[in-house]
Amino acid sequence: MKDPHEVILRPRITERSASLSYGDEGAARQRLLNAARAQSKKTGKTVQPDDVSDRDLVRKYTFEVATNVNKLEIKAAIEAIYNAGKKKEEAVSVTNVRTLKVLGKKRRRGMRSTGYEPDRKKAIVTLAAGQMLEDYGV
């Protein structure tokens, strides 16, 4: 296995990634409503959904990762970094990893010479409901 700190280069903090890290209350409310509808269809009684709490929120975090790693290595690296020294009950579990490759932009250096910024890779990591990363930086 690769060193987790070589896989995860740095957190990628933008306005959008910060809002994703707080969790989506609308999506959590919709999940609770769908569960209540399924329960009412099953039992035949009207079931009201509960209010959204912190344990219902699904949080997503964005990281810049090495360009030669895959989703399984990213998942293992996140769990290794953020579960170091924690108990099993407090452990962070990654449910989904989405990756995207960002191509380097063309840049001019002086009058005639042009070059490119290096390519990079981003990973959007989804944690289980109710979990959050303590020291993400937001």
What span, in angstroms and rounded, lies between the C-alpha atoms of 2 and 10?
Answer: 16
What span, in angstroms and rounded, lies between the C-alpha atoms of 98 and 122?
Answer: 8
Model confidence over 25-74: pLDDT tens digits?
666 676 777 777 787 777 777 666 666 655 667 789 999 999 999 999 99
Q: Where in the chain are the domains?
A: 1-23+59-131, 25-57
Prediction pTM value: 0.78
129 CB-near residues (< 8 Å, 6+ apart):
28, 55, 56, 57, 58
Residue 93 one-letter amino acid:
S
Ranges of beta strands (E only) in 1-138 are 8-11, 60-65, 94-102, 106-109, 113-116, 120-127
Res 90: pLDDT: 83
Res 48: pLDDT: 65
Res 94: pLDDT: 94
**Residue 23 Ramachandran class (φ > 0 left, ψ -120 to 50 alpha, else beta):** left
Distances 94 to 20, 77, 88, 114 between C-alpha atoms, Å: 15, 10, 14, 41
Model confidence over 80-130: pLDDT tens digits?
999 888 888 888 999 999 999 999 999 988 888 899 999 999 999 999 988
Residue carrying the six token digits 């290096």: 118
Residue carrying the six token digits 């170091």: 84
Q: Please determine, looking at this structure, whether the domain spanning 1-23+59-131 carries the CATH number 3.40.50.150.
A: no
